[in-house]
A = this chain, B = another copy of it.
Amino acid sequence: MIESTVVDMRAPYLIMIGDVHDPLYAKTGFGIVQWRRDQVAGQLRFAGCPVDMGVPDLTVQEAKAAGAASLVIGVAPVGGEIPESWWAVIEEAAAAGLDIVCGLHIRLQDYPAIVEAANVSGARLIDVRVPPRKLPVGTGRKRSGKRVLMVGTDCAVGKKYSALALDQALRGAGIKSTFRATGQTGIMIAGSGIPIDAVVSDFVSGAAELLSPDNEADHWDVIEGQGSLFHPGYAAVSLGLLHGSQPDAIVLCHEAGRTEIDEWDGFTLPGIAECIALNLLNGKLTNPSIRCVGVSVNTSSLPAAEREGWLAALSAETGLPCVDPLVEGMQAIVNNMLSS
């Protein structure tokens, strides 16, 4: 077994969703299929599984024959455990030489049968939540290439989706772009990345620097954000990521209708302008020319009739393109990004 600490997944993938009953718990699998369909060989489902990601059903042996290189655990069940009935299949895949990729809180190397099977075949066991070792301290040294970072009013406001949609829109417009993942689901979609919230705090900005290295002058890294500077639990992660990313541009992500930090009662969500201002104030430490290029809003909670007016009012207030990436797409933000 070769144990990897820097995530680096080998495609094509066989995505295991087993006997999951609710598509919500298979969001990792659906995310990979949505954003990286060309990397997916198929799905591995148990008989009677009601969830279908719309890709070929394959057994381990069929996937191996079709050239699959990794078995990706595509679910995030409550409690973070893998069901007992799944392990025989995972062991079979490891024995067949497929890397096993897992983003749950368990660690694959704690399962001796899997370790043994991988040892024999040479497969890698990849725990996506384990950050790289020997991370550097952030230097603040300016890197070549351009960077855009998603920031948020809160956790779970669409930062990952916005980054993926922005990366796609940039590439659609012929711009060189790479999505850079900072959380386990994003990493499994991108095939690489650093789980930034698992990094020791002294090395957060250094990890963010490592994540988006020097690049061509006209290349954009589109960096998945984490947390919020206004989050009483997670702001440290957000600040380290902001400093290390050295973004030329930020996109503020928000969920319309949310008024409090999710699950932190009594913490009022910041205003959009206030949140942009604090990110720019802190971000200019490592990139004095940082600017906000747009607001990406999940408007699903708004009545359909109010949606457009709500975004127009926000756009008037901020002077920025304000879009729901699921509805309008990210083109207006791309145009603003490239206008400087």
- Assess A202 versus B198: contact at CB under 8 Å? Given A138-B233, A229-B282, A236-B240: yes
Per-residue interface assignment for chain A, residues 223 to 236, with 1 indicating a CB less than 8 Å from any chain B CB and 0 otherwise: 00000011011111
Is A233's CB under 8 angstroms from B201's CB?
Answer: no
The residue on B at minimum CB distance from A199 is B201
Minimum Cβ distance to chain B for residue A182 (Å): 11
Q: Say if the beta carbon of A59 comes within 8 Å of chain B.
A: no
Provide the bound-state CA to CA distance between A139 and B264, in Å: 7
Contact between chains at B140 and A267 (CB < 8 Å): yes
A60 within 8 A of B: no
A199-231 vs B, Cβ < 8 Å mask (1 yes, 0 no)? 111101110000000000000000000000110
Residue A281, interface by CB 8 Å: yes
**A residues with CB within 8 A of B:** 137-140, 196-202, 204-206, 229-230, 232-237, 239-240, 243, 264, 266-267, 278, 281-282, 285-286
**A–B pairs, 23, beta carbons within 8 Å:** A137-B234, A138-B232, A138-B233, A138-B234, A139-B232, A140-B232, A140-B264, A140-B266, A140-B267, A196-B201, A197-B201, A197-B202, A198-B200, A198-B201, A200-B200, A201-B201, A201-B240, A202-B234, A205-B233, A205-B236, A232-B286, A235-B239, A235-B282
